[in-house]
Structure 1
Amino acid sequence: MSSETTPAETPFADRADDRDSAPQFVLPLVVRIERAEPPGHTDALETAARAVLSFLSDERVTEPEGEWAAAVAAWEDARIRKVVRRARGGEWRKAAELPGLTTTGKTAEVRVFPPIPLDGWPKELAKLQVSGTELSDETPPAPADPGTPVLWLNPELDMSTGKSMAQVGHAAQLAWWALDAHARTAWRAEGFPLAVRTPSDASAWAALTSAGLPLVRDAGFTEIAPGSCTVVADHPALRR
């Protein structure tokens, strides 16, 4: 199964037609998976979400003349696409030589690269595997600490680790867009603490989806049906 993920619904859903007609770009994410010591599933998801936030808040993106600002603006004017690929050994080292930003978790490393045209992948990334990225946790993750932003995965969907990484990246981005400047600054200063968890049952998920929080809807190009709700971004600052 492919872990290529297509756009999430955004607060600007009324611009759908404009986004579809604009040139399309993709945000590449590469996760390091060494055979001997693969990262844990939940840590890979959380690291991917923090990697997207670190990238979006980087001065090379936020400053008007920043190195990546124009590419990100073009990407955000179209559909918000993210593709997760995996690398190990020499593949990872070659990928790390390209401009980008690496975020490290407890066991995971994820590198985000500036947006590229859909058909404009550099050769170092184009040859990396996109399908079949599956990881596991040795033990179930503990409950999130009180006050920690949580990205809640739909308990009724079966998604690969790669697909889920892209989805939580979408959710983190929607949360970032929804926060005011003060909350963004505070979250960044704390190092973007967050947790990725799955609600206990369908009723808990239904409560989250009806709470007015940022909600990711997948286009359904891979793994799941079009319009599937995949992740809710629950940040304490969005519940005040």
Structure 2
Amino acid sequence: MRPDFDPLDDPPWAMQLVVRAEKAGPPAHGAVCEAAAAAVVRLLTDPRAVEPDGEWRAAVHAWESRRIRKVTRRARGVRWPEAQALPGVTVEHAGAQVRAFPPAPVSDVPPQLAKLQVAGLDLAEAERPPPPPEAPYAAIALNPDVAMTTGKAAAQCGHAAQLLLRQGKKKHVAAWLDAGARVHLTRDVPWRTCVKEAAVAVRDGGFTEVPPGTMTAIAWIVR
């Protein structure tokens, strides 16, 4: 048996995230990260993923029983409406558009998504990132000592939001969802302070960009 073989992750599954990144006027790095996190939460709380007879429920359960991998892809031009035509949930936020798709085996990605580029999505931060929204909201912080592309960071923010949804205090999560599941990428608070506040932490599997076990992102609910 391979030393890295995990029977609970065979076959591997992933949630696909597609970012609209046109050449003219691309979105900001932080906006993409926030939109990705929100899209993950909205898909996981969508009736199609929650209701007993929901068409996504079995897929979500199968995926969450494995490693919660996420693959971030970019689309521009005609590729974006092609992706939009597939079942999923789109979030538009601060100039960014991200669509989350129901998880599936990595070998069974629809051709409209499989053709989209994975590597190389690295966007600039906005000159003036927006202030935090009205509470309650999910605060997410990325580890400043870990270099990540926008695609990688968006996936990590998605992981953080998902862990917060599943592991946060129920009453705080309920209030967050009732308020619209707003997400804010924290940039101006020291990392050590954020770690003390964090309710959940993401430790990367090490498949891309960073060593396995690296703490990439943390999250908590601001009330």
SS at 1:235 equivalent: strand
1:50-71 residue CA offsets vs partner (Å, 9 max, x unmatched): 0011111101001111010000
Equivalent residue, structure 2, for 1:192: 181
Asked if the contact 1:18/1:78 (under 8 Å) is kept, the reply is: no
Equivalent residue, structure 1, for 2:72: 84
Asked if 1:44 is matched to 2:23, the reply is no
How far the C-alpha of 1:185 sits from its partner, in A, is: 3.0
Asked if 1:217 is matched to 2:203, the reply is yes
Equivalent residue, structure 2, for 1:119: 107
Equivalent residue, structure 1, for 2:171: 182
How far the C-alpha of 1:186 sits from its partner, in A, is: 2.2
1:199–1:221 Cα change, 3 Å: farther
Asked if the contact 2:173/2:221 (under 8 Å) is kept, the reply is: no
- Give, as a single letter, the amino acid of the residue that structure 2 aligns with 1:185: A
* Inter-partner Cα distance in structure 2 for 1:210 and 1:189: 26
Equivalent residue, structure 2, for 1:144: 132
TM superposition score normalised by structure 1: 0.84
SS at 2:107 equivalent: coil
How far the C-alpha of 1:199 sits from its partner, in A, is: 5.4
How far the C-alpha of 1:220 sits from its partner, in A, is: 1.4
* Inter-partner Cα distance in structure 2 for 1:115 and 1:58: 13
TM superposition score normalised by structure 2: 0.90
SS at 2:124 equivalent: coil
Asked if 1:27 is matched to 2:15, the reply is yes
Asked if the contact 2:139/2:186 (under 8 Å) is kept, the reply is: yes
Equivalent residue, structure 2, for 1:159: 148
Equivalent residue, structure 1, for 2:98: 110
* Inter-partner Cα distance in structure 1 for 2:196 and 2:175: 26
* Inter-partner Cα distance in structure 2 for 1:67 and 1:234: 30
Most deviating of 208-217 and 28-37: 208-217
Structure 1: give runs of 5+ residues left out of the alignment.
1-15
Asked if 1:169 is matched to 2:155, the reply is no
* Inter-partner Cα distance in structure 2 for 1:219 and 1:88: 29
- Give, as a single letter, the amino acid of the residue that structure 2 aligns with 1:196: L
Structure 2: give runs of 5+ residues left out of the alignment.
none
- Give, as a single letter, the amino acid of the residue that structure 1 aligns with 2:90: T
- Give, as a single letter, the amino acid of the residue that structure 2 aligns with 1:235: I
- Give, as a single letter, the amino acid of the residue that structure 1 aligns with 2:206: G
- Give, as a single letter, the amino acid of the residue that structure 2 aligns with 1:184: V
* Inter-partner Cα distance in structure 1 for 2:76 and 2:150: 16
1:32–1:145 Cα change, 3 Å: closer
**What percentage of aligned pairs have identical amino acids?**
44
The alignment's C-alpha RMSD in Å is 2.0
* Inter-partner Cα distance in structure 1 for 2:188 and 2:146: 12
- Give, as a single letter, the amino acid of the residue that structure 2 aligns with 1:176: L
* Inter-partner Cα distance in structure 1 for 2:213 and 2:134: 31
How far the C-alpha of 1:136 sits from its partner, in A, is: 1.0
